[in-house]
């Protein structure tokens, strides 16, 4: 197990490096720069600015400089928000994004697993039909539309929850954004869980368990849940990616101060440092979660460990 | 001699039919699949709805008095008004919403079609090559797919779209390049088992090159899973496109897409609800029906689950 884990950790390092490199060069080879404004700057000012941010060095040298600083935890300066370094901006936003993402992740996974299992156990009875309908709604209503509908219904007409804003993280401000993120995640999880659970319930060893007189609860708890979880666990990594993508929208729609808030404007303004920093941070979160998922998978399915 | 149970009766009848050479005809796999598809009511209704939406988007504009970019100066921010020919109201610039919804649906459908095609081509070629050659080639190629899976690739698409301008063609290709990963995995898995079959061995024995074997013998046998997965990719792509459009990175004015329409409709939905309801209904029913069709096709073509 230890060998397996350390192999996975080591293989994540080149992935991270390749992604940083690709992102750096795509961004730099594109036309335009952070100082292109409505009015052109005087050449001397521009040259000074470029020298200040090391943009006058050869590209390859800039790249090594960036990676070297990154290894020391320095994301460089933001070129548009002059008063902040990228690390400061991300450090402010990170707790919000993590709180939003992980609470949606945990709630969504739990709700999805429960709904999927319930649906599979009652296959083709009314609880199954109701749940399948709800899952479909979660799957096909895009998150930005769901956000608009929830804001309108619960924020404006019913006035139960605030339609946006943060207010130092009070719970009522979190309910709508988290719901928007939970619905599609729970939907996908439930769909996978239902399918795999139905498959497991049809296997011979479940029939054997029934034949020797075990109660349904015991069969589910001892024999059915663990193998049925496998496909769901392998979805958790991509699932988190979807969630973080969704948080980009949710942070914009509900005006929350997370790390995704500045991403679009930063990309439009060619704020190299901020775009790279945000992408890298998202990537590290996703890689870390994927690593955890792999370890969980190895624990659930012993076959994986020995490959 | 007829027995006592129902089973005996059936068998006897069957034996009689055989005697008179009136044997029941076998059903091919395609007939079987079609029968299962037709029996799936949700899928059949969904096919009808999608066809209707396609006709609505591509033929509808010819029956309207207004085009999607024409400004009606006397009807700005007006609710549906049948006399003026604005059947779904007008937006803040006085443009007819129904015409704009049709144009937006067209754009979403075109993006979905082209991007799905791109993703299918990349995914099939990549997966078939990795699966057929196997060994180190396979290991390296699939490792790359794993890497791509781990990345927040929507961020890359946003960067690409922002940087290379809002060119619709780039949008199609960019989204297509994003969605091929799962297709490649599925195709590789299928190829691994198909390449061990006798007909591939026969082709190799008769001297066919690796490329001929891959594209003549293996790829045609992948049709089932590829069709199923492509149908399930279409709604994903429509979602991605509307996501990008919602962020303001999609097609440019005066052209529009469903995501763009929703992004303009959402902030004013309290006072001008017709600007949100129309595009939202079309988008959701399109996605819903496509998902049902994909599920129906999977159940029909892949009998494993029953």
Tens-digit pLDDT profile for residues A128-168: 888 888 888 888 888 888 888 888 887 777 777 776 766 66
- Among chain A residues, the shortest Cα distance to B291 is held by A140
Nearest to B287 among A22, A140, A152 (CB): A140
**Dist. CA B239–CA B178, nearest whole Å:** 13
Alpha helices in chain A (DSSP H): 2-29, 43-52, 59-71, 86-121, 126-140, 143-150, 171-201, 204-211, 216-218, 225-253, 263-268, 272-300, 302-305
Residues in B closer than 8 angstroms to A30, CB to CB, are 163-164
Q: Is the pLDDT of residue B191 over 70?
A: yes
Q: Is the pLDDT of residue B261 over 80?
A: yes
Q: Which residue has the tokens 């007829």?
A: B2
What global pTM score does this model have? 0.79
For residue B305, name the pLDDT band (cuts at 50, 70, 90). Answer: very low
* Sequence-ordered strand ranges (E) for chain B: none
Tens-digit pLDDT profile for residues B101-142: 888 888 888 888 888 888 889 988 898 888 888 888 888 888
Residues in B closer than 8 angstroms to A129, CB to CB, are none
Q: What percentage of chain B has pLDDT greater than the value 90?
A: 0
CB B115 within 8 Å of CB B175 = yes
**Dist. CA B184–CA B142, nearest whole Å:** 9
SS3 for A38-59, per residue? CCCCCHHHHHHHHHHCCCCCCH
Residues in B closer than 8 angstroms to A278, CB to CB, are 155
**Dist. CA A306–CA B95, nearest whole Å:** 64
pLDDT at site A107: 92
Report CB contact under 8 Å: A26, B163. Answer: yes
Report CB contact under 8 Å: B151, A19. Answer: yes
Report CB contact under 8 Å: B269, A152. Answer: yes
**Dist. CA A23–CA B79, nearest whole Å:** 46
3-state secondary structure of A228: helix
Tens-digit pLDDT profile for residues A3-56: 777 877 787 788 778 878 887 887 777 666 777 666 677 777 777 777 777 777
Report CB contact under 8 Å: A148, B156. Answer: no
Residues 6+ apart with CB under 8 A from B234: B112, B113, B116, B290, B294
Q: Is the pLDDT of residue B211 over 80?
A: yes
- Closest by CA to A182, choosing from A289, A103, A248, is A103
Cα-based angle B156, B157, B163 (whole degrees, multiple of 5): 90
**Dist. CA B196–CA B201, nearest whole Å:** 7
Report CB contact under 8 Å: B149, A238. Answer: yes
- Work out the burial of residue B23: count CB atoms within 10 Å of its CB; fewer than 13 is exposed, 13-18 middle, 19 or more buried: exposed
The answer to whether A16 contacts chain B (CB < 8 Å) is no
The answer to whether A249 contacts chain B (CB < 8 Å) is yes
Tens-digit pLDDT profile for residues A106-123: 999 999 988 888 888 887
Q: Is the pLDDT of residue B306 over 50?
A: no
Tens-digit pLDDT profile for residues A219-240: 877 778 888 888 888 788 778 8
User: Which residues 192-211 of chain A have a CB within 8 Å of chain B?
Assistant: 195, 198-199
Q: Is the pLDDT of residue A246 over 60?
A: yes
Residues in B closer than 8 angstroms to A145, CB to CB, are 262, 266, 280, 283-284
pLDDT at site A168: 66
Give ipTM to 2 decimals: 0.77
The answer to whether A32 contacts chain B (CB < 8 Å) is yes
């Amino acid at each position: 197990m230890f060998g397996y884990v350390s192999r996975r950790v080591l293989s994540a390092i080149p992935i991270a490096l390749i992604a940083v490199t690709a992102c750096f060069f795509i961004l730099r080879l594109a036309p335009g720069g952070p100082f292109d404004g409505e009015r052109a700057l005087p050449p001397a000012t521009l040259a000074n600015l470029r020298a200040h941010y090391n943009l006058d060095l050869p590209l390859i040298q800039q790249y090594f400089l960036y990676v070297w600083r990154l290894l020391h935890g320095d994301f460089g300066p933001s070129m548009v928000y002059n008063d902040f370094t990228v690390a400061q901006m991300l450090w402010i936003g990170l707790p919000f994004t993590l709180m939003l993402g992980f609470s949606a992740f945990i709630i969504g996974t739990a709700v999805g697993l429960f709904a999927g299992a319930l649906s599979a156990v009652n296959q083709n009875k009314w609880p199954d039909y109701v749940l399948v309908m709800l899952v479909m709604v979660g799957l096909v209503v895009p998150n930005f539309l769901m956000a608009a509908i929830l804001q309108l219904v619960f924020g404006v007409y019913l006035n139960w929850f605030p339609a946006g804003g943060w207010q130092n993280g009070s719970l009522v401000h979190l309910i709508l954004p988290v719901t928007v993120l939970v619905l599609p995640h729970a939907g996908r999880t439930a769909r996978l869980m239902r399918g795999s659970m139905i498959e497991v319930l049809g296997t011979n060893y479940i029939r054997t368990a029934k034949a020797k007189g075990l109660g349904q609860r015991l069969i589910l708890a001892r024999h059915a849940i663990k193998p049925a979880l496998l496909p769901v666990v392998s979805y958790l990594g991509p699932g988190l990616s979807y969630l973080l993508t969704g948080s980009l929208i949710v942070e914009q729609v509900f005006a929350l101060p997370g790390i995704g808030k500045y991403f679009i404007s930063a990309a439009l303004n060619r704020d190299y440092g901020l775009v790279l920093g945000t992408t890298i941070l998202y990537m590290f979160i996703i890689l870390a979660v994927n690593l955890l998922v792999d370890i969980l998978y190895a624990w659930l399915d012993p076959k994986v460990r020995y490959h | 001699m007829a027995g006592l149970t129902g089973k005996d009766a059936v068998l006897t009848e069957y034996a009689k039919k055989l005697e008179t050479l009136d044997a029941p005809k076998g059903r091919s796999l395609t007939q079987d699949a079609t029968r299962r598809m037709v029996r799936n009511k949700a899928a059949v209704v969904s096919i009808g709805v999608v066809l209707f939406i396609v006709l609505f988007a591509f033929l509808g504009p010819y029956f309207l008095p207004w085009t999607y970019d024409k400004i009606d100066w006397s009807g700005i921010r007006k609710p549906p008004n049948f006399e003026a020919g604005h059947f779904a109201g007008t937006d803040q610039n006085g443009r007819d919403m129904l015409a704009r919804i049709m144009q937006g649906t067209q754009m979403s459908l075109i993006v979905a079609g082209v991007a799905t095609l791109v993703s299918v081509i990349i995914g099939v070629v990549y997966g078939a090559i990795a699966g057929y050659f196997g060994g180190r080639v396979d290991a390296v190629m699939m490792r790359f797919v794993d890497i791509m899976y781990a990345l927040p690739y929507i961020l890359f698409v946003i960067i690409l779209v922002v940087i290379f301008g809002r060119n619709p063609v780039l949008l199609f290709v960019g989204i297509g390049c994003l969605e091929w990963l799962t297709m490649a995995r599925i195709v590789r898995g299928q190829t691994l088992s198909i390449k061990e079959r006798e007909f591939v061995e026969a082709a190799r024995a008769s001297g066919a090159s690796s490329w001929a074997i891959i594209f003549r013998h293996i790829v045609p046998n992948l049709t089932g899973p590829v069709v199923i997965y492509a149908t399930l990719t279409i709604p994903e792509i429509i979602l991605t496109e509307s996501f990008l459009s919602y962020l303001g990175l999609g097609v440019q004015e005066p052209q529009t897409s469903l995501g763009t329409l929703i992004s303009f409709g959402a902030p004013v939905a309290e006072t001008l609800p017709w600007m949100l309801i129309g595009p939202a209904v079309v988008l959701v029913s399109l996605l819903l029906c496509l998902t049902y069709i994909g599920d129906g096709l999977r159940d029909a073509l892949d009998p494993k689950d029953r």
